[in-house]
Amino acid sequence: MERTFTILKPDCVKDGHVGKVIDKILSSGYKIIGIKMMKMTRPLAEGFYEIHKGKSFFEELILFMTEGPCIVAALEKENAVEDYRTLMGATNPLKAAPGTIRKEFAENISRNVVHGADSPENAIREIAYFFSTSELIGNIL
């Protein structure tokens, strides 16, 4: 069993897509083993996206991720990371495949509804960034 991490970003929450996105996740065979709603602080967002510090889009990304509540979740299934990257779709919703989360719900390349870990190693790091081990429970949903 492999784990991955996702953020349902502030645009997803604001636009009322949370239930539909979670349904797509569950319908794709994922088990949610940790989930919580939060409003990221600037230091929390800067720490999480530290890899992008110095890039032209960094400030816009931090402002976006701190503008409203989001949902962070740890997911589990076989081939979780790769399958979730496919389920999310391309970062640019105009290039995303039909049926993907971003094709159905994203506004544009910057406001793209969800984040997903890009490797099993980063999934472990990202889950640990937002969840203590006691917050991860097998098969919440």
Active site residues: 115
Secondary structure (DSSP) of 6-27: EEE-HHHHHTT-HHHHHHHHHH
CA dist 133 and 10 (Å) reads: 25
Report the helix count and the strand count for the chain, using DSSP H and E. Answer: 7, 4
CA dist 81 and 116 (Å) reads: 8
Q: Is beta strand 31-38 parallel, antiparallel or unpaired with respect to 2-8?
A: unpaired
* SS3 state at 34: strand
Asked whether the beta carbons of 112 and 6 are under 8 A apart, the reply is no
